Amino acid sequence: MSAKTTPRRRNQWRKIWLNFHLYLGLSLGLVFVLAGLTGSLLVYYVELDEIINPQLQISSSQTKQSKQSYEAIYQAIRNSHPERGSSWRLELPRHQQAMLMARYYKPVEKDEHTFAPLIVWVNPYNTQIVSSRFWGEFLMTWLFDLHYGLLLDDMGETIMGGIGILLLVLLITGIYLWWPSAKKWRSAFTIKSHASTQRFIFDLHKTNGVYSLLVLLLLTISGVILEWPNVFKPMINTVSPLYVTGTNESKIITGEQRISLDKAVAIASTYYPNANLRWIETPDGSTGSYKITYYQPGEPSQRFPKSIIWLDQYSGQLLSIRNPKQEQLGDTLINWLHPLHNGEIAGMTGRVLVFISGFIPLILYVTGIMRWLQKRQSSSYTKT
């Protein structure tokens, strides 16, 4: 008797999970689609911003000139925004025709937002200020806020983190429902030729889900952790202690002025002689320090690396140094999250893969709805 009831129970459970998968997909599918499509665009958000705003590209004729000093560029930024006296963070150009970007993280106009820096684009060849815009007020950063927080700031990130966990359940139930019997493994990975429209839609849904599963799981898991750092970092820290930044305050020397950005970079470069300079953060107030970030070959992110030097702003003395290649597993995991999420961890191949993967939720959602409508129509026809 148990042999007869086991398949029946299995079918009952399958029907329960099928309904759960269906209604979870119908209710959260649009958010999944939104996250996928915006995520695809954000893979290339800096490049797309330059295309949309051609003034952010330097002409090839100008690149034959010598670049201005970092101090001269910084002074041009300060003269353009004299009322902003806190720290500026300068991102070095990614290529010869790219602008230098400077971020001011504490604009009073955006006090109500957790993250909405002023971004200034500077021509490094002549120190001309080309553009000054607030984060969230131009297309690509608006898409960024939509992707991470539904334009709802901290509350939106909390919501998206919760939705991300439910989407993990959606993916897992999809695999459970797809899992074939021993004799059907081959057909489970293919689209049947010369099949009916219903069968084609079903095969299209299952194959897109199966072949994209690993990437979608990695993107969803990394996205959830990025949305809820205050939840996951303490958990990771209990297993592998995370790097903790010290105070790194400069010692005020009466009558002394801060050293120039160029001198600070020259000193910092002695600690990372074979690395590429990526960011220069100027001192915040009289006790602030220089924070200078380099990219070492092998780091997962070229744009946001973690090889950092802190220097006293007056004496240039080393205050602290961070070397990600000497950190523990927990920090390595945290450092991998963002470049894993945008594909940068695997170079251009990874970015293209993530870009393409962003369209998979749309395919799954459309084919899922079509399959549901087909079943409803078939059920209605049977009843009549």
- CA distance linking residue 220 with residue 256, whole number of Å: 51
CA nearest neighbour of 130 among 234, 48, 184, 58: 58
Q: Which H or E element spans position 120?
A: strand 118-122
Q: Is the pLDDT of residue 384 over 60?
A: no
CATH code for residues 261-326 = 3.10.450
Residue 147: Cβ within 10 Å count: 23
pLDDT tops 60 at residue 171? yes
User: pLDDT band at 382, cuts 50/70/90?
Assistant: low
Name the residue among 337, 331, 330 with its Cα closest to residue 308. Answer: 331
pLDDT of amino acid 380: 60
Give the pTM.
0.92
3-state secondary structure of 310: strand
**Nearest Cα residue to 76 out of 125, 17, 143:** 125
Query: Which stretch of 35-49, 193-207, 281-295 has the lowest confidence by average pLDDT?
Result: 193-207
* pLDDT, position 12: 86
Q: How many CB atoms lie within 10 A of CB 26?
A: 13
Contacts of residues 273-280 at CB distance under 8 Å and 24 or more positions apart, as own/partner, are 275/307, 276/302, 277/92, 278/91, 278/92, 278/302, 278/303, 278/304, 278/305, 279/89, 279/90, 279/91, 279/92, 280/70, 280/89, 280/90, 280/92
Burial class (CB in 10 A: 0-12, 13-18, 19+), 95: exposed
Angle made by CA atoms 146, 150, 151, in degrees to the nearest 5: 75
Q: What confidence score (pLDDT) does residue 1 get? A: 46
Q: Please, what is the average pLDDT of the chain?
A: 94
Q: Give residue limits of the domains in the chain.
A: 19-43+147-238+350-383, 60-137, 261-326
Q: What does the alpha-carbon distance between residue 96 and residue 91 come to, in Å, rounded to a whole number?
A: 14
- Which tokens belong to 232? 């996951």
pLDDT for residue 10 = 76
Q: What are the strands of the beta sheet with 100-104, ordered from one edge?
A: 129-134, 118-122, 100-104, 88-91, 276-281, 289-295, 307-312, 318-322
